[in-house]
Structure 1
Amino acid sequence: MTQSWRSATAVRILLVGALVSTAGVGAYSFSSQSEGSSKQSQSRPSSDSKASAASFTTADSGSCLTWKDDQGKITNFEQADCAGEHRFEVSSREDLRAYPASEFGSEAPMPDLTRQAQLREELCLNPTIQYMKGTFDQMGKYSVASILPPQDAWSKGDRTLLCGVQATDDKGTLIPTSGRAAEQDQSRIFRPEECVLVDAASATRVVDCAADHQMEITAIVDLQPVFPEGTPSLEQQDTHLRQVCTQAAQDYLGGDDPLYFSTLQPFWTTLPENSWAGGSRSVNCALVFGQDRKFATLAGGARTGFTINGQPPASRPVRAPIVNPEALIGPHPEPARP
């Protein structure tokens, strides 16, 4: 099979769509020990009889928070230095007592998950984008989330809502981060040696390499040093990554011959203009097998033995030494689709 090269367009169709479907948004209420505070929310108080209830936290815009999560039981909820490890960065502080109507009055139950998601859209999205000052890739590793008081504080009248950003993995599990979000590389990427399944909905998730998957990651590439002057076009990224990811594939498998006989092809992701503007700078190199403009199903690690659609890789003829390897990296055909 003639070696083919994955184009920037193919990757955008596959992974940008996948990230849209998997980028999570969270809403939390902590039914556990709170940080404890006597500071009142800065929003307009209501005339509710519980309006003087103390807030469960003093955290405000710019604060970072962390906690321990023991199988869903949240403890040690506290503010943390944003330069160090934390789980949540506060973009705004809202008071639901200022919300129109009496939806969040003194006897109102805590909003369910559906209503929390609506509140996140209504109250958190725009303040978070403003807080990030334009440096926010909504398809990157950070997502907008909200935190409500623990149940006991809510019952006493606390209606504080914290808006902010958090990082999650492909399973939606919170990932501790260090440093302010607007100053980080926001790319949602996979680590080398991870195998990635692309499901029927084009969502991606890491799986054991022994299980069915479509990609095996070979490298992470930081594009910032390559394009320091500004946003690179997809064609510029494609040109650079074609060589970098081919080399990454060879290094990963132990040379050009192992890559040739594996029948696998180098593959890479790219960053659209809005992701670059939003603070993402890194992409992935991977190994795939493209067939009929689709990704084949791989099972097993590329370095330890694998099958392609349930069959071992096809035998390839022994070839003469390559005098000009760069000549292999030429124009690529129509992109494979998932």
Structure 2
Amino acid sequence: MAEDNKPKPDRRPPSARLTRRALVLVAAGAVLAAIATFVVAGFQGAGGGDDSAGANISTTGAVAGEAFGTATTGDCLTWSALDASDLAKVDCAETHLFEVVADIDLSLYPGTEWGPGSRFPSVTRFTELRDEQCAPAAMDYLDGRFDPHGKFSIGLINPGEAGWAAGERTLRCGLQFSSTTGNLLPIKGRVADQDQSRAWDVGVCIGINNGVPADPVECSKPHAFEVVAVVDLGGQFPGGLPSIEDQDGYLEETCTRLVNEYLGEPEALRNKTLTLFWDNLDYDSWLAGSRKVNCSIGKQVEGGGFSSITGSAKGDILIDGQPPVPPPPVPEGRSLPTPLPGAVPLPGS
């Protein structure tokens, strides 16, 4: 869209390309934040971070007992304690947090790094082990059908400092469902039997932290955006991966129709000064079988990031603590283009 034709910020939502670029940057920031607090794949305590950043690193407690000691490929694990000290095996049909894809015995590797009396590895080293050992194991476990941008991520459970000091050298690699900030969300059923698309349910509101999307929250609480629809691209594109342009062409029309249905009338989005945006699928996601994307609504701020919205867009909302001021009505006989969406800020991430 040419600069002269871009809608004014106080009257219309930003253009699709502008919004998409901004939201991609927001997404990248969210992913980096998630990595910084989640580098031990879900067992990093709140406030932890990367060794190299000099952050206060929290490690797991001693994961002891039969569940950790016998967990192997295909087992599903859950816990409630922050340090996973109450880790237990459960049937994978039940709610759980971790599906084991492999157990790695470091004592079988040559060298002194894993030998008796060796130092407990750093967060950075465990991250390297996750990438080196767990990523290939997860791909094998899923027969190559892992969506790196989908809802599931690859994790690693270490035995904790006490377990390490006692001589435990076995790691558990697995699959987990992690939120934007790295908190683990419950899983039901085996990952191989599920759609890996990172698509939230309709009506879910994604929280906000300093302008960046966070974890799902009640819509009555401050949030970055609200999910208004789930679209399955498989029906429209039964063949190979459609281009981004083809996806956008279909989703612009479909998401606009669905958001009008969700809000109840065509002018609601404009009157609430919100922006409609959607996700796109790339080759890796399509190859893994992911076909679903979200249509969502939020409000971008200058320079990137999101305004804080309170309340569901189906009713009265506050934007940064103030009710939205509807723009002037469109003059009779003059047509303005439909607000152009951008992209949902949750990549494989």
TM-score bracket relative to the smaller structure: 0.7 to 0.9
* Cα distance in structure 2, aligned partners of 1:121 and 1:76: 23
Aligned length: 312
The alpha carbon displacement at 1:96 in A equals 0.9
Deviates more, 1:245-254 or 1:203-212: 203-212
Alpha carbons of structure 1 residues 12 and 159: separation in structure 2 relative to 1, 3 Å: same
Please, which runs of 5 or more residues in structure 2 have no aligned partner? Answer: 1-10, 44-59
Q: Out of 141, 147, 154, which is 2:157 matched to?
A: 147
Q: Deviations over 1:121-172 (max 9, x none)?
A: 3322233233333212222222221123366654553321221221112232
* Cα distance in structure 2, aligned partners of 1:120 and 1:295: 31
Please, which runs of 5 or more residues in structure 1 have no aligned partner? Answer: 37-54
Alignment of 1:258-273 (within 5 A): 258-273=268-283
Match of 2:24 in 1: 13
Q: For the Cα contact (< 8 Å) 2:150–2:290, is it kept in 1?
A: yes
Match of 2:111 in 1: 101
What secondary structure sits across from 2:325 in the alignment? coil
The alpha carbon displacement at 1:271 in A equals 1.5
Alpha carbons of structure 1 residues 142 and 290: separation in structure 2 relative to 1, 3 Å: closer
Q: Out of 94, 110, 117, which is 2:120 matched to?
A: 110
**1:85 maps onto 2:98 in alignment:** no
The alpha carbon displacement at 1:250 in A equals 1.5
Give the letter for the 2:172 counterpart.
Answer: L
Q: For the Cα contact (< 8 Å) 1:27–1:113, is it kept in 2?
A: no
Alignment of 1:1-338 (within 5 A): 1-2=11-12, 6=16, 9-10=20-21, 13-14=24-25, 17-18=28-29, 20-21=31-32, 22=34, 24-25=38-39, 26=41, 28=43, 31-35=62-66, 56-57=69-70, 59-61=71-73, 63-72=74-83, 74-78=85-89, 80-149=90-159, 154-196=164-206, 204-206=214-216, 209=219, 213-289=223-299, 297-301=307-311, 302-308=313-319, 312-318=323-329, 329=338, 332=340
The alpha carbon displacement at 1:211 in A equals 6.0
* Cα distance in structure 1, aligned partners of 2:304 and 2:266: 24
Larger Rg: 1
* Cα distance in structure 1, aligned partners of 2:343 and 2:238: 30
What secondary structure sits across from 2:227 in the alignment? strand
What secondary structure sits across from 1:133 in the alignment? coil
Alpha carbons of structure 1 residues 118 and 257: separation in structure 2 relative to 1, 3 Å: closer
TM-score of the pair, normalised by structure 1 = 0.74
Report the structure, 1 or 2, having the larger strand content.
1
Q: For the Cα contact (< 8 Å) 1:14–1:202, is it kept in 2?
A: no
The alpha carbon displacement at 1:97 in A equals 1.0
Alpha carbons of structure 1 residues 27 and 317: separation in structure 2 relative to 1, 3 Å: closer
TM-score of the pair, normalised by structure 2 = 0.72
* Cα distance in structure 1, aligned partners of 2:294 and 2:149: 15
Q: For the Cα contact (< 8 Å) 2:205–2:226, is it kept in 1?
A: yes
